[in-house]
Amino acid sequence: MPKRFRLTRHFTVGMTEDGYRRLRKFSQEAGLTEGEALSFLFEHFDSVTNEDNLVARLRLFNSELDARKR
């Protein structure tokens, strides 16, 4: 029997405009709300990411983070 889908956690999140636009686009294409889309992405994180690409992208993001905060 499938698990019941309940959004039980609510939190305030800060996102970049680019990140939020991409989340909205993904959720619309998938027919999900933004919360459902985030739940899907994190529940299936390992299968929807390429570990090598993730590490490289994370390094790049972290290296630019201080400059982006200004």
pLDDT tens digits for 59-69? 999 999 888 88
Is 48 strand, coil or helix? helix
Tell me: pLDDT of 50 over 70.
yes
Q: Residue 38: which of 11, 4, 59 has the closest Cα?
A: 11
Sketch the domain layout of the chain as residue ranges: 32-69
Q: What is the pLDDT of residues 5-48, one digit of tens each?
A: 787 888 888 999 999 999 999 999 999 999 999 999 999 999 99
The whole-number pLDDT of residue 26 equals 97
Tell me: pLDDT of 2 over 90.
no
DSSP code for 44:
T
Q: Which two tokens stand for residue 28?
A: 């619309």
